[in-house]
Structure 1
Amino acid sequence: MTVLPPNRPSSGALYLGIDTGGTYTDAVLWSEEAGIVAKAKSLTTRHDLAEGISGAADAVLAESGIEHGAIKLVSMSTTLATNALVEGQGGRVALVMIGFGAEDLARNGLSGALGTDPVIFCPGGHDVHGNAAELSLEALEATLPELERSVTGVAVAAYFAVRNPEHEIAARDLIRARTRLPVTCSHELTSKLGGPRRALTTLLNARLISMIDRLIAATEGFLARREIQAPLMVVRGDGALITADFARTRPIETILSGPAASLVGARHLTGLDDAVVSDIGGTTTDVAVLDQGRLRLDPEGATVGGMRTMVEAVAMRTFGLGGDSEVTLRDHALATRIELGPRRLVPLSLAAVRHGEVVDKALSRQLLQPAASRLDGRFAMRTGVPESAASGLSNTETRLYAQIANVPAALDRLLVSTSQVATLNRLVARGLVHIVGFTPSDAAHVLGRQANWNAAAARLGAELMARRRNGMGQPAADTAEGLSELVLAAVTRRSAEMMFETVFAADGLEEEAPVTHALVQRALDGNRGMARLSIALDRPVIGLGASAHLHYAGLPSLVGSACEIAPDADVANALGAVVGQVRMSAEARISQPEPGVYRVNAGELLEDFETEEEAMAAAERAARAMALELAGRAGTDHARIEVSRDIRDAVIEGERSLVEAFIVATAAGRPRVAS
């Protein structure tokens, strides 16, 4: 659906930006001379991502009327990795822990992230100076035949691998020699200490590889069919660009890709240097703060879905709230209380676009039942991923999965016992099955504020939910419209809470004054009392996303600040994808394992020197070389390099002694374009 008339530049290169979100795929054509030339949206088709990409990109190409050869660069951002982590989805992977014990799984949320995926413990690892313990990979070797049949990838994390990666490399080489599974090693992703969190980051990376590979392959296929011979870039979580091939091996770096691109796009669209940026999509809302025109990076690593990773990314909070969020009623509440997300559902109105007769018939049947059921208005359907993604299912999961097809099946007929609800949820978590149900997008259709899907199905879903009883035994709402108003008001209210939660964290107040605190809630409610309470942001809000105008209309009264929604706010992510640059960093560390020995550790390099000066020079050379090599792989030929030093020393009895030093080289430049 193209919404801009052509604005053809008279000359100069054109850049195609694509953003693949959970619900929509956006595309823009942009030039430095004319700005946005054309923009378009198409539904993201998870079973075949090429459909959504083709729909949006073909629309902007047709609208602009340009020759395909005029496109010199294609860049894409995506929320697919972020959404997958928020929803607990991804491929089944094996985690190889070298030098760790079972007790380490309890740290940093690693056990929860691992779930039922297999873990293999092997003796080995290194100490803080890179000295090796004895390595044995017998346990890994014995299980490789089974792993090749049951997982989609392998994550390898070794004790102090950032000081010496040789044991991770040995395990990686063994897995590649005996299987065709993709392997991720922790030292390839981060140079930071903290083994369990490093293992968590590696596990998540391995889990996302197949998903990002499908996205990139779909985009490359589209470009090849349209004979667009331009480099393909992907936005990283810190707003920088990397080549598609680089992103394939390190997909974890694309978490917060879409949000980072939206921040770049927001500043470009509004010119505001100080703002709270809130981007509401179909699955998630991403909130961040612009300070003096700069993106703030999270020094501790990106947190997504409650998991703290070691991925350097924009300091942003990602919440499971969007137009397609699951709507539920709080059990036993005296008054009707709406709960939203974090899980994404396929809206009833959207499912009915393709399966109208099936959806309408089931909803109408349920309305005729004498009593309301929790399963009313819910359906299950396959996502359409390849059959290989269903590897490793249990017998009960396999049986239920076999009963689910590409056509929505009503849950009150599909599920015959309450235990099957948990089984279904596991299939959803694996990304194999979609749940169809009532969402804020359906509420907007009921109220006539959105009209692109099937409003009749949305109304039937609202009527089913409205007749559910609260703790007082009363219907949740008198009418479908009343229920829908409650849902949309809940989205706006929760959006305001998320913005305050984000700025509280930025101000260092999160623990002392959580947004759930009674005083904060009372201030948001505007309840009058002897103590008058109010709360406000110190800067405007930039609202992004196709539904921002709908959900943020009532925001100013809640946050005490203006809300600016730019004319092209619906494609800010796709715009941000084409205005960034490549930026890669590399770190070298110098330590003293014993007096008179200065050890340089940089990537796979481990070398000793007799003097600090020699070690410093070698460390800087290594860091520069690694940064330049990474920047070349990431997609730029003209990188500028900056070097910073963090030297930590101590004075003992008047004598200075080096404790450790970190040399960081950062290479940055614009991406390659087609000649």
Structure 2
Amino acid sequence: MTVRLGLGIDNGGTFTDAVIVDLDTKKIISKAKSPTTYDDLSVGILGAVDGALSGCDVDRSLIKLVGISTTLATNSILQGKGGHVGLIGIGWRPDPEWDLGASKMRFIKGGCDSVGRVLQSIDESELDDAIEEVTKEVDAVVVSGMFSVCNGHQEIRVRDAVRKKAGLPVLMGQSFTSELGIYERTVTAVLNGKLLPIINDFFDGIESSMRAREITGRIFVFKGDGGMMSISHAREVPIEMVLSGPAASLMGGKVLSGLDECWVIDMGGTSTDIACLDGGFPRLNMEGAMVGNWRTRVKGIDIWTCGLGGDSIIRLDKDRGLVVGPEKVMPLAIASVRYPGFKAKLEASKDLEHYTPVKADISRLTEKERTVYDFVKGHAPCSWFDMIMGLEGKAMVTSTLLESMRLRGLLMRTGLTPTDALHFLGKFRSGDVEASRVGMSLMSERMSEDAETLAKMILKLMVTRVGEELLKKALVDSGSKLDGGGAFHKLLRGATGHESVGGYNIKMSPGRPIVGIGAPAKEFILPLRERIDGDVVVPEGHDVGNALGAVCSEVSEMFSAQVYARDDKYLVFSPMSSPSQYSRLEEAISSARAYTSSVVRDRIAKQDVEDVRIRVDVIEKKFPDGFGREMKFVNWVDVRALALARPRLR
């Protein structure tokens, strides 16, 4: 039997991982890590790829599949990067407070009502003027019509006119969702348009780099819903890459553990992600992913993310108790390697927090900010006191100014972290152990504890915090609001086995196994099994679980239709089609099932796949009454088709 290999790449917040795996046995053959390089992601990606390739002796022609999970789409949106997009709205006008993200906008007559009836025809002269106005100096155009998911013909008409007149990429709101919500639908399409030039440049580099390394396997890109898409499809809908990193860790946990029903907890240097597998499928957030302040209609996994990782800052609260996170800092052990002489500065100043520059766009800095940034760059790592003394008479360096520059990604602080605790206890080595010892000594003096006890307290607190975050997600999933009171935190601590509550043992029972993924999983997730009523598994290969998930998942396509009752009839609404009418609910649902199945089958076939399976879910939607109880009658029916398939390997 011919060996078929896969190359998985996960571009994470702290490190970029690469793994070479046997696609049939899922055995990891080689793996490597490289620091993520935010100014040019390809540097970190190729560093990890080259590390994995050099770690084994394989015929590169056997690498039949390359899977990529990247933060590029998410980070580009958060940082406001991307191309310029023109928007033509049909039959609606935005609320004054709406930020739709488009560079140029024009709103014309037209639109439909909620049952797909055309309210007003498009004025051809007005359309020509709109096209002329919004197509100048843009990279793409979005067309978004009122109730276009109920009748999409006007969007299609405008799309064809823009293509004919301007020759630009044109995106329709109905192409991204079948759900109502003109704001969310429009924002999703606009953000997709803004991503097109960035993603295409990135993929061009990836494809040329793979060819240069004699890797000719097909390239697939991970999506936020836990599936993959071909690189050609990803070039058209890069918005679906949002939240692909957490989704890859979830599927990596499934592959490594062999479990279809489990919680997956992925801890990295910056954050911890918690998600759930039901029957081998990730739970999805059907409301659409939030990216910064943007509410989109992108279907992503239902995930809980918190600022808890190996590089989270350790500090003292007002009662001199230990607190971890949420800020990410540079561990002392790492700072000492990156900046020779830092350990001596740490010992002399007795200040754990020093500032270092971060590569960023500094073109928009104020004169004072530029002065501070240049000083830090020339004297890194430097303390606040160093800046005050060094810039006396030139700039007043306030804590408010430094915090603003840190939050905008211009500066990063050093600090004591769980990574330093692991270095001190001999459980991990990637930096200067002596710098970690100095930091532990300084913090232990403030707590009147010895350094070793402090390090063990930090590890215990990290395990507790993981359990607390799992409980918080369960509470939010049940519809509860998180109360920040002391009794609430006491119960959380008790449930995670950190301490008893008035002599009572109230440890939690998660109801399904917990799978730990990420480099620190053995130290900060696995010990939970001694504290709770349930199994905790940290499988071999957990440190590259995300990269494994990126190449070991399946291609997926999802499409939905809705059935509504209107005047003793049942109407089926779906994008790219006109409403269809039926006299019986069963007939309408049957039609919707057939149509959605046909759409996902056709779409997934275009990505050159095999072993196609289709699942159709019928979900009845019932509004609650005034007392929160579910009413008996059905308001509408969602019919969702999901197609899964394996990439065809050549």
How many Å separate the matches in 2 of 1:513 and 1:294? 31
How many Å separate the matches in 1 of 2:546 and 2:296? 23
Task: Tell whether the 8 Å contact from 1:504 to 1:513 is kept in structure 2 after alignment.
Answer: no
Among 438, 462, 474, the residue aligned to 1:491? 462
- Aligned match of 2:646: 670
Task: Tell whether the 8 Å contact from 2:510 to 2:534 is kept in structure 1 after alignment.
Answer: yes
How many Å separate the matches in 2 of 1:63 and 1:199? 46
Once the two structures are TM-superposed, the CA of residue 495 in structure 1 deviates from its matched residue by: 0.4
CA separation of 1:521 and 1:437: change in aligned 2, threshold 3 A? closer
Larger displacement relative to structure 2 (157-166 or 31-40): 157-166
Task: Tell whether the 8 Å contact from 1:158 to 1:168 is kept in structure 2 after alignment.
Answer: no
Supply the AA of the counterpart residue of 1:377. H
- Aligned match of 1:382: 359
Task: Tell whether the 8 Å contact from 1:128 to 1:163 is kept in structure 2 after alignment.
Answer: yes
How many Å separate the matches in 2 of 1:30 and 1:270? 15
Task: Tell whether the 8 Å contact from 2:355 to 2:411 is kept in structure 1 after alignment.
Answer: no
CA separation of 1:567 and 1:121: change in aligned 2, threshold 3 A? same
- Aligned match of 2:81: 91
CA separation of 1:122 and 1:362: change in aligned 2, threshold 3 A? farther
Among 446, 450, 453, the residue aligned to 2:428? 450
How many Å separate the matches in 2 of 1:229 and 1:641? 30
Task: Tell whether the 8 Å contact from 1:172 to 1:185 is kept in structure 2 after alignment.
Answer: no
Question: In the TM superposition, what are the counterparts of 1:388-399 in structure 2 within 5 Å?
Answer: none
How many Å separate the matches in 1 of 2:516 and 2:24? 26
Among 314, 319, 322, the residue aligned to 1:337? 322
1:585 aligns with 2:558: yes
Task: Tell whether the 8 Å contact from 2:82 to 2:194 is kept in structure 1 after alignment.
Answer: yes
1:275 aligns with 2:262: yes
CA separation of 1:356 and 1:142: change in aligned 2, threshold 3 A? farther
- Aligned match of 2:625: none
Identity %: 29
Once the two structures are TM-superposed, the CA of residue 669 in structure 1 deviates from its matched residue by: 1.8
Question: In the TM superposition, what are the counterparts of 1:204-219 in structure 2 within 5 Å?
Answer: 205=192, 216-219=203-206
Task: Tell whether the 8 Å contact from 1:351 to 1:436 is kept in structure 2 after alignment.
Answer: yes
CA separation of 1:664 and 1:334: change in aligned 2, threshold 3 A? closer
Which secondary structure does the structure 2 equivalent of 1:64 belong to? coil
Which secondary structure does the structure 2 equivalent of 1:451 belong to? coil
Which secondary structure does the structure 2 equivalent of 1:501 belong to? helix
- Aligned match of 2:629: none
Question: In the TM superposition, what are the counterparts of 1:290-305 in structure 2 within 5 Å?
Answer: 290-302=277-289
Task: Tell whether the 8 Å contact from 1:377 to 1:461 is kept in structure 2 after alignment.
Answer: no
Once the two structures are TM-superposed, the CA of residue 406 in structure 1 deviates from its matched residue by: 9.7
Per-residue deviation, residues 443-470 of structure 1 (Å, max 9, x unmatched): 3223332211233444455566667xxx
Task: Tell whether the 8 Å contact from 1:94 to 1:155 is kept in structure 2 after alignment.
Answer: no
1:41 aligns with 2:19: no
CA separation of 1:444 and 1:119: change in aligned 2, threshold 3 A? farther
Once the two structures are TM-superposed, the CA of residue 308 in structure 1 deviates from its matched residue by: 6.2
Once the two structures are TM-superposed, the CA of residue 427 in structure 1 deviates from its matched residue by: 3.0
Per-residue deviation, residues 414-438 of structure 1 (Å, max 9, x unmatched): 872344235414532xxx6655544
1:606 aligns with 2:582: no
How many Å separate the matches in 1 of 2:229 and 2:84? 27
How many Å separate the matches in 2 of 1:307 and 1:516? 31
Number of residue pairs aligned between Structure 1 and Structure 2: 616
CA separation of 1:183 and 1:91: change in aligned 2, threshold 3 A? farther
TM-score of the aligned structures, taking structure 2 as reference length: 0.77
Supply the AA of the counterpart residue of 2:325. L
Question: In the TM superposition, what are the counterparts of 1:272-421 in structure 2 within 5 Å?
Answer: 272-302=259-289, 309-330=296-317, 333-341=318-326, 343-357=327-341, 359-360=342-343, 363-364=346-347, 366-367=349-350, 376-383=353-360, 408=380, 410=382, 412=384, 413=387, 416-421=397-402
Once the two structures are TM-superposed, the CA of residue 496 in structure 1 deviates from its matched residue by: 0.6
CA separation of 1:360 and 1:502: change in aligned 2, threshold 3 A? same
Q: Pairwise CA RMSD of aligned residues?
A: 4.7
Once the two structures are TM-superposed, the CA of residue 233 in structure 1 deviates from its matched residue by: 0.5
Supply the AA of the counterpart residue of 1:68. R
Per-residue deviation, residues 504-532 of structure 1 (Å, max 9, x unmatched): 445x2634889945434444443352665
Once the two structures are TM-superposed, the CA of residue 143 in structure 1 deviates from its matched residue by: 8.5
How many Å separate the matches in 1 of 2:239 and 2:490? 37
Which secondary structure does the structure 1 equivalent of 2:643 belong to? strand
How many Å separate the matches in 2 of 1:479 and 1:217? 54
Task: Tell whether the 8 Å contact from 1:75 to 1:235 is kept in structure 2 after alignment.
Answer: yes
Among 25, 50, 57, the residue aligned to 2:42? 50
Task: Tell whether the 8 Å contact from 1:491 to 1:551 is kept in structure 2 after alignment.
Answer: yes
How many Å separate the matches in 2 of 1:454 and 1:175? 59
CA separation of 1:410 and 1:672: change in aligned 2, threshold 3 A? farther
Question: In the TM superposition, what are the counterparts of 1:62-141 in structure 2 within 5 Å?
Answer: 62-78=54-70, 89=79, 91=81, 98=89, 99-102=92-95, 105=98, 122=107, 126-130=112-116, 131=118
CA separation of 1:47 and 1:72: change in aligned 2, threshold 3 A? same
CA separation of 1:326 and 1:64: change in aligned 2, threshold 3 A? same
How many Å separate the matches in 1 of 2:141 and 2:378? 30
- Residue segments in structure 2 that go unaligned for 5+ positions in a row: 623-633
Task: Tell whether the 8 Å contact from 1:445 to 1:458 is kept in structure 2 after alignment.
Answer: yes
Supply the AA of the counterpart residue of 1:38. I
Per-residue deviation, residues 170-190 of structure 1 (Å, max 9, x unmatched): 59987998899x886543322
CA separation of 1:263 and 1:426: change in aligned 2, threshold 3 A? closer
CA separation of 1:14 and 1:360: change in aligned 2, threshold 3 A? same
- Aligned match of 2:627: none
Supply the AA of the counterpart residue of 2:214. E
- Aligned match of 1:232: 219
Larger displacement relative to structure 2 (123-132 or 302-311): 302-311
CA separation of 1:188 and 1:572: change in aligned 2, threshold 3 A? same
CA separation of 1:126 and 1:51: change in aligned 2, threshold 3 A? same
Which secondary structure does the structure 1 equivalent of 2:474 belong to? helix
